[in-house]
Structure 1
């Protein structure tokens, strides 16, 4: 003969009671929070009336033009260290840019490590 279990003594209720007491979220709680987050994201990304989004009119300069501007500030020429501190580029990137600018005749190598805008 099988005994009837009393209400509230099954394993499921024991586990849910344990999870609640230890403040551990259940799968149902997490799914509810995901649904709320999805609704919030949809509200954030909705196009709001009256607000116009405009594109910025200024474009970012290329790395080569930044280096060329720095070299152009020094009419007698400038060294590698000055260019590096002004631009913040690492050595390899800066050496490649200087090589490219020298190849296309935008700058001139005055002496070793000194560059001047043409």
Structure 2
């Protein structure tokens, strides 16, 4: 678990997901860092949307969600949908099967 003393180490721990764009310090204030996501960081966006959907479904109180994400062009809510490469959607867990991939290895018993 990260302690408060590790906050200053954050820039060194996330270089694969974001790159430092700028660092500035206003007089009497702490240094502020601005990051831009890398391709790896941007690829996490569907996961972020899926987690928001899960939270909205199972953890939202009576006031509703704390954050709404909508399509800028039409205003519709954004959804994460699981589909196959052929475009069949939405897929449920019962609709798919998993099998070992080329990097899978057998573990000794």
TM range (shorter): under 0.3
TM-score normalized by the length of structure 2: 0.25
TM-score normalized by the length of structure 1: 0.24
Relative to its length, the structure with more helix (as a share) is 1
Higher RCO structure, 1 or 2 (CA under 8 Å, sep 6+): 1
